[in-house]
Amino acid sequence: MAYSLLCMIVFFLGILLWIYHWKNPRCNGKLPPGSMGLPVIGESFQFFAPYTTSDVSPFIKTRMERYGSLFRTSLVGRKIVVSTDPDVNRFIFQQEGKLVQSWYMDSFDDIVGKENVLSSHGFLHKYLRNLVLNMFGSEALKEKHLSELDGLTIKHLQLWSTQPSVELKQAISNMIYDFTVRKLFGWKESRSAEKLRGCYSAFIEGLISFPLNIPGTAYWQCLQGRNKAMKVVKSMLHDRRRASPKKQDRDFLDTIVEEMSKPGSILSEQTALDLLFALPFAAFESASSAVVLALKNLRSNPLALAELTQEHETILREKETKGSSITWKEYKSMTFTHMVINETIRLGNIVPAIFRKVVKDIEIEGYTIPAGWIILACTPAVHLNSTKYQDPLTFNPWRWKGRELNAGSKFFMGFGSGVRLCAGAEFVKLQIAILLHYLVTNHRWTVTNDGKAVRQPGLLFPEGFHVRILNKNSYEVAGER
Ligand code: HEM
Ligand SMILES: *[C@@H]1O[C@H](CO)[C@@H](O)[C@H](O)[C@H]1NC(C)=O
Ligand SMILES: *[C@@H]1O[C@H](CO)[C@@H](O)[C@H](O)[C@H]1NC(C)=O
């Protein structure tokens, strides 16, 4: 009797000690203030709670008010320091490969693959990044993809204008997806590509979700989708490796196969598969959200829409050959359009957080962030700071006028910063610019169902965004704009 009582006391003391250590993690210095929440779960439920404002998430906001710009928490079993400070963020991004490494939430790693370009380090990262930039960087866009994107956009807008209403997020996703997989895998694989598309939609919602691998959860569905998708990509890669090399019409898969067969190549099959799987997704999901947000913003601001329309009508008027596709020079001259895009990215915060893993203890602002912890750079907090951006929740493209910003300035990190600046940024901007050009010059549009955006904290449009696209010179309903 006395013995079992003793056991119980020791057991409870053990648990108390464990909880104490959870709440007060070890650190060779002073940790930033904050709460570690419940054991193991931490503050994950608060972090993943959906919200509908475009403001900084309530989770971050309340903690900023309580603790300041640097605070600690715990998410999905990880010890985290959140930074909402532009200088700290910039410092962290400059430390890539030194004090920190890029890291994606464990769920993200399982889903997107441990060896993808997002979480690879050092030399391999540079190598993969160059492969991607050769495909989607400015040079390739200008020389190879511009006229094709142009034709594709005209064609899709025409098609959509024959339909009573289109769900724009889905429609744009499909368009960008088709283009991307054609560039990646070539024409012939289009049936596999369709199969692959189905797999992607199975896991979008679980992408940034609580990593609970139990049948039925969003996370579980995610992993299922990935496994299926991987099978498709793998069989495409194997088929191509068996085929004889092409001289013409080469796609990304040809490049990958060629790189893999070089003696001493650092491109392993797993790395190649992860890259091929992650790219279409990186491309269509974020880019289609950006287009929807741009149209939502323009709808809320008729003056901006008018100025945008004027810019594109001027381009049309000054064209040397009528009806020719958009040139790179014209694209670069779309100043107001670029202001609209920047403002959409700033306000949209499509990527709600950027993560880095601490490799060596970091001393900053009088605090210590221990090795092994994760830093969550909360870029929205900077994009929505009223000191830097007046009336931060208002869509105001004119605020970009004359702003001399470098890509990835510490106040604008919508596409990240430093050596990991988004490899698809120019591709997305070009895509949006072309779409806006034809939308405002050839068409009119009315919103038939303006579904709310939800963030959890990844951006979702559960009800979609439905528009009716009309040809500019047709007036079907009297009185319609
Ligand atoms: C509006 C759309 C997009 C936004 C807001 C966006 C945002 C970002 C951000 C914030 C990062 C930095 C991540 C980090 O530092 O850890 C990033 C990296 C990256 N993005 Fe994008 N992105 C977009 C579209 C695209 C597209 C269309 C592609 C594909 C062609 C793409 C490919 C990549 C790649 C490959 C990286 C990793 C770069 C590296 O680590 O070197 N992104 N993106
Ligand atoms: C906004 O930025 C200023 C200057 O960088 C800073 O002092 C202030 O604390 C920030 N405000 C919020 C709410 O983060
Ligand atoms: C948009 O932002 C980028 C920074 O990423 C900057 O270089 C560019 O000048 C901005 N464009 C306009 C038109 O303000």
The string of pLDDT tens digits covering residues 412-443 is 999 998 888 999 999 999 999 999 999 999 99
Per-residue pLDDT at 31:
95
Residue 193: C-alpha distances to residues 88, 124, 230, 424 (Å):
42, 27, 12, 20
Per-residue pLDDT at 187:
65
Residue 332 has pLDDT above 90, yes or no: yes
In a domain, 15, yes or no: no
Residue 58 has pLDDT above 80, yes or no: yes
Confidence of residue 337 (pLDDT cuts 50, 70, 90): very high
Q: Which residue has the higher pLDDT, 212 or 155?
A: 155
In a domain, 19, yes or no: no
Per-residue pLDDT at 480:
44
Q: Considering the chain, what percentage of its residues have pLDDT values greater than 70?
A: 90
Closest among 415, 422, 460 to 173, alpha carbons compared: 460
Q: What is the mean pLDDT of residues 60-69?
A: 97
The helix (H) or strand (E) run that includes residue 460 is strand 459-460
Per-residue pLDDT at 478:
41
- Name, of 106-110, 206-210, 261-265, the range with top average pLDDT: 261-265
Q: What is the mean pLDDT of residues 214-241?
A: 85
| Separation CA 29–CA 231 (nearest Å) | 48
Q: What is the mean pLDDT of residues 317-329?
A: 91
Residues in the chain: 481
In a domain, 20, yes or no: no
CA 315 to centroid of ligand 1, rounded, Å? 30
Contacts (Cβ under 8 Å, ≥6 apart) of 262: none
Average pLDDT taken over every residue of the chain: 87
Residue to probe by mutation, ligand 2, list 385, 412, 413, most atoms within 8 Å of CB: 385
Residue 207 has pLDDT above 70, yes or no: no
The helix (H) or strand (E) run that includes residue 431 is helix 425-442
The helix (H) or strand (E) run that includes residue 23 is helix 2-23
In short, whether 336's Cβ falls inside 6 Å of ligand 3 is: no
Least confident of 67-71, 271-275, 328-332: 271-275
Confidence of residue 53 (pLDDT cuts 50, 70, 90): very high
Confidence of residue 309 (pLDDT cuts 50, 70, 90): very high
Per-residue pLDDT at 216:
81
Q: Enumerate the H helices of 70-211 as residue ranges.
A: 86-94, 106-112, 122-136, 138-140, 146-160, 168-185, 190-203
Contacts (Cβ under 8 Å, ≥6 apart) of 381: 56, 60, 64, 69, 84
- Looking at the structure of the chain, the number of domains it has is 1
Nearest CA to ligand 1 atom 28: 424
Nearest CA to ligand 1 atom 20: 422
Which atom number of ligand 1 is nearest to the Cα of residue 379?
10
| Separation CA 5–CA 247 (nearest Å) | 79
Nearest CA to ligand 1 atom 42: 424
Per-residue pLDDT at 419:
83
Q: Which residue has the higher pLDDT, 216 or 260?
A: 260
Stated pTM of the model: 0.91
The string of pLDDT tens digits covering residues 450-467 is 989 999 888 989 999 999
Which atom number of ligand 2 is nearest to the Cα of residue 385?
1
Q: Which residue has the higher pLDDT, 36 or 78?
A: 36
Residue 240 has pLDDT above 80, yes or no: yes
Per-residue pLDDT at 405:
54
Tokens of 37: 């929440």
Give the structural domain span for 51.
27-477
Per-residue pLDDT at 111:
56
In a domain, 81, yes or no: yes
State the ligand closest to the CA atom of 389.
2
Nearest CA to ligand 2 atom 12: 385
Nearest CA to ligand 1 atom 1: 287
Residue to probe by mutation, ligand 1, list 208, 422, 428, 434, most atoms within 8 Å of CB: 422
Per-residue pLDDT at 481:
43
Nearest CA to ligand 2 atom 11: 385
Residues touching ligand 1 (Cβ under 6 Å) are: 102, 117-118, 129, 132, 136, 279, 282-283, 286-287, 290, 345, 350-351, 354, 414-416, 420, 422-424, 427-428
Closest among 40, 36, 102, 116 to 375, alpha carbons compared: 102
In a domain, 63, yes or no: yes
In short, whether 390's Cβ falls inside 6 Å of ligand 2 is: no
CATH code of the domain containing 424: 1.10.630.10
| Separation CA 104–CA 115 (nearest Å) | 11
Nearest CA to ligand 2 atom 14: 385
Per-residue pLDDT at 209:
64
| Separation CA 406–CA 114 (nearest Å) | 31
CA 84 to centroid of ligand 2, rounded, Å? 9
| Separation CA 413–CA 416 (nearest Å) | 5
Contacts (Cβ under 8 Å, ≥6 apart) of 151: 325
Confidence of residue 479 (pLDDT cuts 50, 70, 90): very low
| Separation CA 1–CA 424 (nearest Å) | 68
Which atom number of ligand 3 is nearest to the Cα of residue 339?
13
In short, whether 385's Cβ falls inside 6 Å of ligand 2 is: yes
| Separation CA 326–CA 340 (nearest Å) | 18
| Separation CA 177–CA 144 (nearest Å) | 17
| Separation CA 65–CA 91 (nearest Å) | 23
Q: Which residue has the higher pLDDT, 169 or 320?
A: 169
CA 387 to centroid of ligand 2, rounded, Å? 6
Nearest CA to ligand 1 atom 21: 422
Instruction: Examine residue 457 and say whether the peptide bond preceding it is cis (omega within 30 degrees of 0).
Output: yes
Residue 115 has pLDDT above 60, yes or no: no
In a domain, 7, yes or no: no
Phi, psi of 57, deg, nearest 5: -60, 145
The string of pLDDT tens digits covering residues 163-197 is 999 999 999 999 998 898 888 888 665 677 778 88
In a domain, 22, yes or no: no
The string of pLDDT tens digits covering residues 129-154 is 898 999 899 999 999 899 999 999 99
Which atom number of ligand 2 is nearest to the Cα of residue 86?
5
DSSP-assigned letters across all residues of 403-422: ----TT-TT--TT--GGG--
| Separation CA 366–CA 166 (nearest Å) | 53
In short, whether 399's Cβ falls inside 6 Å of ligand 3 is: no
Which atom number of ligand 1 is nearest to the Cα of residue 348?
5
State the ligand closest to the CA atom of 133.
1
In a domain, 96, yes or no: yes
Residue 163, Cβ neighbours under 10 Å: how many?
10
